[in-house]
Amino acid sequence: MNPEPFLQLDRLIHEKGRLGIMSMLAASPELSFTELRTALGMTDGNLTTHIRTLQQEGYVSVAKSYQNNRPLTTCSLTPAGRKAFAGYINLLEQIVKQNKPK
Amino acid sequence: MNPNLAEENLQTIRLLMERSALYRRALAPIMLLAGILGLLAAVIGLYFQVESSRAFAGLWLGTACVAVTSAFLLARRQALKDSEPFWSPPTCRVGQALLPPLLSGLFLGGLPAMLTNNWAADFIMALVWLLFYGCALHSAGFFMARGIKWFGWGFIAGAIVLLLSVQVTGYQGSPLSANWVMGFFFGGLHFAYGIYLYFTEPKNPAA
pLDDT at residue B50, as a whole number: 84
Contact criterion met (CB below 8 Å) for A23 and B12: yes
Least confident of A8-17, A40-49, B30-39: A8-17
B90 CA: distance to closest CA in chain A (Å) = 11
Q: Residue A27 and residue B1: Cβ atoms within 8 Å?
A: no
pLDDT tops 60 at residue A95: yes
* Confidence tier at B207 by pLDDT (50, 70, 90): very low
pLDDT tops 70 at residue B203: no
Least confident of A1-5, B111-115, B126-130: A1-5
Give all strands of the β-sheet with A70-77 in edge-to-edge order: A31-32, A70-77, A60-67
Q: Where are the domains of chain B?
A: 23-200
Mean pLDDT of A45-59: 94
> Can you give the three-state secondary structure of chain B, one letter per residue?
CCHHHHHHHHHHHHHHHHHHCCECCCHHHHHHHHHHHHHHHHHHHHHCCCCCHHHHHHHHHHHHHHHHHHHHHHHHHHHHHCCCCCCCHHHHHHHHHHHHHHHHHHHHHHHHHHHCCCCHHHHHHHHHHHHHHHHHHHHHHHHECCHHHHHHHHHHHHHHHHHHHHHHHCCCCCCCHHHHHHHHHHHHHHHHHHHHHHHHCCCCCCC
Which of B6, B10, B22 lies at the smallest CB-CB distance from A28?
B22
Contact criterion met (CB below 8 Å) for B183 and B43: yes
Contact criterion met (CB below 8 Å) for A102 and B12: no
Task: Assess A25–B contact: CB distance below 8 Å, yes or no.
Answer: yes
Residues of B in contact with A39 (CB under 8 A): 16, 19-20
Q: Residue A27 and residue B18: Cβ atoms within 8 Å?
A: yes
Task: Assess B16–A contact: CB distance below 8 Å, yes or no.
Answer: yes
pLDDT tops 90 at residue B165: no
pLDDT tops 90 at residue B101: yes
Which of A20, A30, A95 lies at the smallest CB-CB distance from B6?
A95
pLDDT tops 90 at residue B41: yes
Which of B3, B13, B202 lies at the smallest CB-CB distance from A23?
B13
- pTM here? 0.68
Rounded Cα gap, residues A98 and A80, in angstroms: 27
Mean pLDDT of A13-21: 90
pLDDT tops 90 at residue B157: yes
Mean pLDDT of A17-22: 92
pLDDT tops 50 at residue B102: yes
Task: Assess B17–A contact: CB distance below 8 Å, yes or no.
Answer: yes
Q: Residue A28 and residue B20: Cβ atoms within 8 Å?
A: yes
Is the ipTM beyond the 0.95 threshold? no
A51 CA: distance to closest CA in chain B (Å) = 17
pLDDT at residue B154, as a whole number: 95
Task: Assess B144–A contact: CB distance below 8 Å, yes or no.
Answer: no
* Confidence tier at B49 by pLDDT (50, 70, 90): confident
Mean pLDDT of B93-110: 89
Contact criterion met (CB below 8 Å) for A12 and A57: yes
Rounded Cα gap, residues B24 and B88, in angstroms: 11
pLDDT at residue B69, as a whole number: 93
pLDDT tops 90 at residue B201: no
Instruction: Compute how many other C-beta atoms are within 10 angstroms of the C-beta atom of residue B26.
Output: 21
The count of CB pairs under 8 A between chains A and B is 55
Task: Assess A87–B contact: CB distance below 8 Å, yes or no.
Answer: no
Mean pLDDT of B158-176: 83
Which among B18, B141, B207 is positioned nearest to A39, based on CA atoms?
Answer: B18
Mean pLDDT of B146-166: 90
Least confident of A81-90, B13-22, B119-128: B13-22
Mean pLDDT of B2-7: 74
pLDDT at residue A51, as a whole number: 95
For the segment B61-96, what is each residue's pLDDT rounded down to a tens digit? Answer: 999 999 999 998 988 888 788 777 778 777 888 889
Q: Residue A27 and residue B21: Cβ atoms within 8 Å?
A: yes
pLDDT at residue B202, as a whole number: 59
pLDDT at residue B43, as a whole number: 94
Q: Residue A95 and residue B18: Cβ atoms within 8 Å?
A: no
Q: Which residues of B100-128 are buried (b: 16+ CB within 10 A; e: fewer)?
A: ebbeebbeebbebbeeeeebbbbbbbbbb
